[in-house]
């Protein structure tokens, strides 16, 4: 779209209403002679403008504006109520969510500590070391595994 076509679109209403200054109207008329797109646009818009201008204007009833104001007020009040309810849920659900996370953590912690072999019985540190950490005794001295075993069950380690 060139600048002349853009100018026609910008002043289209004033052109059709006849309120455009004569100099600008002459420029638009000259452009319309050479541009079929703008000519068609002005003709179609002029026809539409004629149809609109012949339509009977209907004034709203006397109760329209007060009814509209009342509906807006009711909708705003309803919206405030929903915001208040949502805020209440947010405030009450936060502690529920924290409690749920705590319970889930406790449940999964229990599941991780509960092995099928011990079947619910309490395992002492020595039994735990004998059953689960026995394979780690072959770590070379000074390695990360040795360091861990030295501080996790020092009574089970042999002194070098």
Q: How many CB atoms lie within 10 A of CB 52?
A: 8
CB 136 within 8 A of CB 145: yes
pLDDT at 102: 92
43-47, 48-52, 117-121, 156-160 — most confident range: 43-47
pLDDT at 103: 93
Q: DSSP 3-state assignment of 63?
A: coil
> Among 1-5, 40-44, 48-52, 146-150, whose mean pLDDT is lowest?
146-150
pLDDT at 51: 85
Spacing of C-alpha 100 from chain mean position: 25
- Residue 129 to residue 123: CA distance in whole angstroms: 10
* Structure tokens given for 115: 């092995």
pTM metric for this prediction: 0.36
């Amino acid at each position: 779209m060139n600048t002349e076509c853009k100018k026609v679109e910008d002043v289209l209403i004033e052109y059709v209403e006849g309120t455009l200054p004569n100099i600008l109207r002459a420029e638009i008329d000259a452009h319309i002679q050479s541009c079929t797109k703008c000519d068609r646009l002005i003709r179609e818009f002029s026809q539409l403008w004629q149809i609109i201008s012949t339509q009977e204007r209907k004034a709203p009833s006397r109760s329209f504006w007060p009814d509209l104001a009342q509906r807006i007020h009711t909708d705003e009040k309803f919206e405030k109520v929903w915001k208040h309810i949502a805020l209440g849920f947010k405030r009450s659900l936060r502690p529920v969510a924290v409690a749920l996370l705590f319970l889930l953590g406790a449940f999964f912690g229990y599941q991780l500590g509960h092995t099928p072999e011990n079947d619910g019985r309490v395992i002492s540190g020595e039994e735990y070391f004998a059953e689960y950490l026995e394979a780690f005794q072959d770590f070379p001295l000074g390695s990360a595994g040795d360091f861990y075993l030295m501080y996790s069950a020092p009574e089970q380690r042999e002194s070098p």
